[in-house]
Amino acid sequence: MQTGKAPIVDFNSYNFKYKSQKDFSLFDINLSIKKGEKIVIVGPSGSGKSTLAKSLNGQIPNSFDGDILGQISIDGKDLKSSSIFDLSLSVGTVLQDTDGQFVGLTVAEDIAFSLENDCINKEEMEKIVHKWAKELNISKLLERKPKDLSGGQKQAVSIAGVLVSDVPILLLDEPLANLDPKSGRATMKLVRDLAERLGYTVVVIEHRLEEALLLNPDRIIAVSDGRIVFDGCVEDILKSDKLDQIGIRKPLYIDALSYAGLDLKKYAQISKVDDLDLSKDDLEILTTWASKVKKEKIVKSREKIIEIKNLDFAYSNENILENINLSINKGEIVSIVGPNGAGKSTLAKLMCGFIRPNRGEILIDGIDSKNLSIKEIADKIAFVLQNPNSMISKTMIYDEVAFGLRIRGLEEEEIQKRVEEVLKICGLYPFRNWPISALSYGQKRRVTIASILILNPDLIILDEPTAGQDFSHYTAMMEFIRRLNRDLSLTILMISHDMHLIQEYTDRALVVCDKKILADLSPAELFSREKLIDQSNLAPTSLYKLGKKLEALSALDFIESFIAYERRKKNG
């Protein structure tokens, strides 16, 4: 396939309204994508970008019925008159949840699935599978089970599974959502290489713009309220206030440059921090700004809520965690970070008593958890799952929040008093009589936290609290969690690979890798240690790279200044 000038995708005055909805979701979309282009589509939740993607791969109107005005041409095919099968020959889609895309027992079987459906003979099929496995550097994985792969490996297998059909267009729906930073960067670089080397047209829909820029996109498309509000090059959108207007976070180093008062428009290139060539004067301005930021030392309680001593744990004779020693103090916000599959969730389950250690102690308020029932542990430590739908059991918000007290046999009058109090704390009181199905994803997460909070735990463990949320909802959720920590002295433990979250909101980071706690340190210290970052499958932050350009200030001091400035800015 060769890059050409003719558009391979052409939206012409396109409008769409779902059959079940009153209003249109997309308005007057005019968008042309040329063969070989790399496009990133950004926008807040509910902006219409997912509807745009469904229109691109034929799910609209084939799987989602509705009213269409205007025209779409995809690889020369008219959307309205083409079946989803016809369009699947032109557009290969990689889903956000790769596990939901796997159908084979082995990687080889999964990659071959579409070829089997096309009745390709076995010899030719094996040849094609091995060709694409080699292209994506996954030949050694062909006999492995998809469920045993890392997040980045699963993404590569999913991409191979669509490319075997020789589709010219590759559509990736939030490919970074469930990946640790290192795997996310590897995925973006892999897709970039495929596009640039083999001429694929690539469309990526993503919230995490900073990582998505590793695709080296030709254009950024910004969508808000069902309309395209920006269509242009990366440099132009980074130098404008458009991302701020629609609620998409700029790369952290861009924020730092802006906070220091630098004029970004005078630089031709600001989209790659490694190639950013700041003038001597601007480097001095940046150094002066960072040096003047006041760093407040927040004194936390030394009262231990939980202490783990010499803990080992194994699944089916396979060691998962070895010689774990840590403590968490009252009022802290602590993050657990590390590669996918490192044992972060296992450690949280051990704290909650869902599973028990093979060796060692877990002390909760000084009491060995071996002597406590799961209910007794649950009264002190609560676990909020990543997916709120996995925790919700009632139809109405009030009933869901009241459920824990009702099964404990409290009087209804006392239940009502406590439910209303918690709903007010969580900003859900106006919705107390609503069905949960009417809530947004972020509001559902608040309901699950409210249903835990009403039981007055000492420690709440949150599994990926901001996964899949845009910057606006991410900020609302994390500011809510910070208020709980500040106003109720609630201790928070978060499992996350979101470097922004770790940096902005946590006091300490526990790095879990190679079955051990590799480090227990501040976020700024974590992000200034390159070797540790690499070991833990994180990635060097753009702040660290920017800080390395300063001669009179260490990267650690620069990161600490940025964190202090942002926290003070958010707290007013």
- 7, two tokens: 């558009």
Q: Quick one: pLDDT at residue 369?
A: 94
Give the pLDDT band of residue 2 (cuts 50, 70, 90). Answer: very low
Of the candidate ranges 40-54, 284-298, 459-473, 547-561, the one whose mean pLDDT is the lowest? 459-473
Residue with tokens 């959720």: 477
Nearest CA to 493 out of 505, 475, 503 is that of 505
Q: Round to whole Å and give the CA distance between 251 and 279.
A: 20
218 to 41, 185, 203, 256: CA distances (angstroms): 11, 18, 11, 25
Nearest CA to 68 out of 113, 9, 15, 145 is that of 15
Does the pLDDT value for residue 3 go beyond 50?
Answer: no
Q: Round to whole Å and give the CA distance between 176 and 469.
A: 12
Q: Round to whole Å and give the CA distance between 422 and 475.
A: 20
Report pLDDT digits (tens) over 276-322: 999 999 999 999 999 999 887 766 667 899 999 999 999 888 889 99
Q: Round to whole Å and give the CA distance between 346 and 536.
A: 16
Does the pLDDT value for residue 114 go beyond 60?
Answer: yes
Give the pLDDT band of residue 356 (cuts 50, 70, 90). Answer: very high
CATH superfamily of 7-247: P-loop containing nucleotide triphosphate hydrolases (3.40.50.300)
Nearest CA to 565 out of 243, 244, 258, 247 is that of 258
Does the pLDDT value for residue 475 go beyond 80?
Answer: yes
Report pLDDT digits (tens) over 225-242: 999 999 999 999 999 999
Beta strand spans in 505-562 (E):
508-513, 516-521
Q: Quick one: pLDDT at residue 299?
A: 65
DSSP of 231-283: EE-HHHHHHSSHHHHHT-PPPHHHHHHHHTT--GGG-S--S-GGG----HHHH
146 to 19, 111, 116, 153, 265: CA distances (angstroms): 36, 10, 18, 9, 46
Report pLDDT digits (tens) over 419-428: 999 998 888 8
Asked if 48 and 225 touch (Cβ cutoff 8 Å), the reply is yes
Q: Quick one: pLDDT at residue 1?
A: 43
- 107, two tokens: 């990687």
Q: Quick one: pLDDT at residue 572?
A: 62
Helix (H, G, I), strand (E, B) or coil at 363: strand
Report pLDDT digits (tens) over 138-152: 898 999 988 888 777
Q: Where are the domains of the chain?
A: 7-247, 249-292+542-572, 304-541
Asked if 175 and 155 touch (Cβ cutoff 8 Å), the reply is yes
CATH 3.40.50.720 fits 304-541, yes or no: no
Strand order in the sheet with 77-78: 26-34, 7-18, 66-74, 77-78
Same-fold call for 7-247 versus 304-541: yes
Q: Quick one: pLDDT at residue 539?
A: 82
Average pLDDT over the chain, rounded to an integer: 89
Report pLDDT digits (tens) over 362-371: 999 999 999 9
Q: Round to whole Å and give the CA distance between 320 and 514.
A: 8
DSSP of 300-357: PP--EEEEEEEEEEEETTEEEEEEEEEEEETT-EEEEE-STTSSHHHHHHHHHTSS--
Q: Quick one: pLDDT at residue 406?
A: 94
